[in-house]
Structure 1
Amino acid sequence: MKIFSSSIQSLERGLQYSAKKHEVTSHNIANVDTPNYKRREVQPTFQQIYNSALSANKTDKRHLDFSNSPSSTHSVKTAINSYSHNGNNVDIDKEMSELAENQIYYYTLVDQLSGKFQSLQNVIKGGRN
């Protein structure tokens, strides 16, 4: 028996992705002046994108559920191009923009997850405050 819906699991995977993206982006910002440093970026694995697309199109309870595959793996890709005279390719403006975008994404997921738990709490209490 499932206690939580699959939407809570999806939100959890999104939070894991966002945390990894924050870690990598912060690392890029910290190394903005390091000679020959190549920026890294986080990309969800193909399997994750495929599974989320499949579960989003699930229209019947008899359809197969592919959500049991490992979901916390994210690939980290290193860019090769150099934009600076010292061999560094970190653009601080782009990194700060990505950090802000990721922060908005993270807080949106936290807000949705909080709403799910508030709904569960309301059900447990029987609709009483």
Structure 2
Amino acid sequence: MENTYGLLKEALNVSAQRAQLNANNIANVNTPNYKAKRIEFESLLDNALDQQTHLTTTSARHMQAGGGITPQETSRSNTTVKENGNNVDLDVEMLNQAQNGLYYSALTSQLKGRYQMMSYVINH
């Protein structure tokens, strides 16, 4: 259960980082040679969870898998580069902003539900 809270916390942090990065991309829509950036997290999480299911702990001294997933900031390369060398696509950024808002809302709803369930168990 604690691992779930840790994953939710990390996902909320990544969502906040994405919001900041998306705002930076939008603010630099006309900056020459600026390259749009993104944060990679889900594929890293999938890989960590996949590794965790394949590892077996045979001693209490063994390290646990899946801890410390660090989101990676990368330049976006799948958008068209303009004459000034900038590749920020405002439509893509607005879509990413809306998608990230929904992602954040879903995460906070999950966290709220878990806390309500815990509160119910404690109080009843």
Q: How many residues align?
A: 117
Contact 1:45 1:75 in 2 (8 A): no
RMSD between aligned residues: 2.5
Q: Which runs of 5+ in 2 are unaligned?
A: 58-63
Q: Map of 1:25-44 to 2, 5 A cutoff?
A: 25-44=22-41
Identity of aligned residues (%): 30
TM-score of the superposed pair, with normalisation by structure 2: 0.80
Deviation >4 Å, runs of 4+? none
Task: Show the counterpart of 1:90.
Answer: 88
Deviation sequence 1:62-103 (CA, Å, 0-9, x none) = x54424x323x2111124676211111100000000110011
Letter in 2 for 1:44: F
CA distance in 2, matches of 1:46, 1:115: 25
Distance verdict in 2 for CA 1:45–1:111, change over 3 Å = closer
Asked if the contact 1:38–1:82 (Cα under 8 Å) also holds between the matched residues in 2, the reply is no
Question: After the TM superposition, which residues 30-109 of structure 1 pair with which residues of structure 2 at under 5 Å, given as runs?
Answer: 30-44=27-41, 48-54=45-51, 57=53, 63-64=56-57, 65-67=64-66, 69-71=67-69, 73-79=70-76, 83-109=81-107
TM-score computed with the length of structure 1 as normaliser: 0.77
* Alpha-carbon distance, 1:7 to partner: 1.7
Provide closer, same or farther for how the CA distance between residues 46 and 104 of structure 1 changes in structure 2, counting only shifts above 3 A. closer
Q: In structure 2, what residue type is equivalent to 1:52?
A: L
Q: Determine if contact 2:22/2:97 at 8 Å carries over to the other structure.
A: yes
Report how far residue 44 of structure 1 moved: 2.1
SS of the equivalent of 2:13 reads: helix
Alignment partners' CA distance in 2, 1:111 and 1:79:
30
Give the deviation of 1:112 after TM superposition: 0.3
Match of 2:7 in 1: 10
Q: What SS does the corresponding residue of 2:109 show, helix, strand or coil? A: helix
Q: Which runs of 5 or more residues in structure 1 are unaligned?
A: none
